[in-house]
Amino acid sequence: MAGRLARLVGRRAAEPRSGLRPHALRARAIELAGGTTFYFVGDGFDAAFARASEAAGDRGVDIAGGASTVRQALAAGVVDELVLDFVPVLLGSGERLFDGVADPRLEPVEVIHSPLATHVRYRVGR
């Protein structure tokens, strides 16, 4: 994810990240203290991804969000890598990450673990 300039986030994942130009799947824009401006796109995933890609130029787009955002990105075929963070905490019923999505043919390329979490980076097949 190094070298990314823009980030596309889901409706509930709009957190500031230094140096990125965030584009969120929402309908209104806000500017945060410190100079980060969120560009909210209410026309769906494809429109938000197009605007984030334009802002990033050739540097790529980092996509962050919940299951719905991930499913939309996988269905659009715009995911090269997927990082899943596994934390042993139960937070309600949750959503299935891959429901309704064709098999992304994930290939694990890196695993980082600690007593609190395990982070797995996958390459997404085409």
- The model's pTM is 0.75
Determine the pLDDT at residue 56: 82
**Neighbour count for residue 115 (Cβ, 10 Å):** 6
Determine the pLDDT at residue 9: 63
Q: What percent of the chain has pLDDT over 70?
A: 71
Q: What's the whole-number mean pLDDT along residues 60-77?
A: 89
Residue 114 has pLDDT above 50, yes or no: yes
| 71-92 b/e (C-beta count within 10 Å ≥ 16 → b) | bbbbeeebbeebeeeeeeeeee
Determine the pLDDT at residue 105: 95
* CATH T-level fold of 6-124: Dihydrofolate Reductase, subunit A (3.40.430)
Residue 71 has pLDDT above 50, yes or no: yes
What CA–CA distances, in Å, run from 56 to 4, 52, 97, 114?
Answer: 7, 6, 26, 32
Q: Among 58-62, 113-117, 119-123, which is the least confidently predicted range?
A: 58-62
